[in-house]
Amino acid sequence: MQTFRGKCGNYFEFILKVSIMFCCTESEITLRSHFEDAYRRSRVPVIQEIERRVCGCDYGGNSWTTKEQADALIGQLRLDKHSDLLDLGAGTGWPGIYMAKETGCAVSLVDLPEIGLQLAKKRAAEEGLEQRVSVTIADAADLPFAKGSFDAISHSDLLCCLIRKDVVLQQCVRVLRPQGYMAFTVISITRNLSKTQHERAIANAPGFAEIEIDYHSLLKNTGWRVTDWSDLTDEYRESCVRQIDADAENQSALENLLGSQETKERASNWGAKLDAMNDGLLLRELFVCQPA
C-alpha cells in the first residue's frame, strides 16, 4: 500500500493507520515506534557521521549491514540492470537504494513506518534514481504484489524484529520468480544457553530474535533451499566496537541531541551488547536461498 499526498492524503493516512492496527501485534507496534524515532534523527549530522564510521554509509540505516556486505549482496542476488529487487524492512533505503545505484536494477522498498520511506524517496531523488526506486507501505507478512513479481529479495536484520517469521518467508516465496534469489541477514540467540545467559541474550538482542527452531529448518519448512550461508558474528562484533568508539568520540554532540541521560543509557546498552557477543550469546547469520 503506497501513501499518496494531495487532496486524498488524509484518506490514505487513515487507511494506513487502520491496516497497521490489524497487521501487527502490540509489541511489533512498539518496536516500530522505536525505528520511527531513529529515522527522525537519521539526518542529523552527528548521527550521519557515526553511521559512516560504523557501516560506511549515511542513509540512516536500520540494520548492521555494512557497505562491504551490501557489495557482497549484489553478487549473491545476481543483480543487474534487468533485475527487479524487493527490499523488505527497507527503512530509509539502505541498502536497497545503494544496490539500485550500483547495478541499475529497479527496487521496491517496503516497510511500515512512513517516515522512513519518505526519507528513502528523498534520497532516491537526490541520487537521480526516482525512475528506479518505488516505495510501498505494507506489512511483510501480507505483501501487496502478484505472484512472481521479483527476481531478487533482500532484507537486513528484519526477521529478528518480527513475530510471524514463517508467514513472511512464505510471502517471499510467493512473490519471487522461480529462479530468483533471496538473501538476508538475521540476528538470533545462541542455542543451549543457561537461564542466566539466555536472559542476557534476550536483553541485548532485537525484539523478536528468539526462535523455536533454527533458521535452516524454518527456511526448509517455508519452501526454501539454502544455497549459501555465512556466520557474520565477528563482523557484527567489530561493528559494535566501531559504534562504541564513534559514540565516545562524538559524546558532546550526542548529549546536545539526546540529552546526558539518554547518551549514558545508549553507551551502557552498546557495552552490554558487546559483552553479550564476546560471551557468545548472540549470532548474526547471512542466508542466500532459492525457492525449493
In a domain, 4, yes or no: no
Q: How many domains are contained in the chain?
A: 1
Least confident window among 4-8, 155-159, 180-184, 253-257? 4-8
In a domain, 108, yes or no: yes
pLDDT at position 36, please?
72
In a domain, 279, yes or no: yes
Q: Is the pLDDT of residue 170 over 60?
A: yes
Q: Is the pLDDT of residue 169 over 50?
A: yes
Rounded average pLDDT over 133-147: 97
In a domain, 2, yes or no: no
Domain span at 39: 9-291
- The Cα 180–Cα 145 span in angstroms is 15
In a domain, 229, yes or no: yes
Q: What is the DSSP letter of 172?
A: H
How would DSSP label each residue in 61-122?
-SS---HHHHHHHHHHTT--TT-EEEEET-TTTTTHHHHHHHH--EEEEEES-HHHHHHHHH
In a domain, 3, yes or no: no
pTM of the model: 0.87
- The Cα 72–Cα 86 span in angstroms is 17
pLDDT at position 26, please?
63
Q: Give CA separation, 211 vs 144, 190, 218, 269, in Å.
A: 26, 10, 9, 22
In a domain, 200, yes or no: yes
Q: What does the angle CA 268 – CA 91 – CA 127 come to, to the nearest 5 degrees?
A: 120
CATH number at residue 61: 3.40.50.150
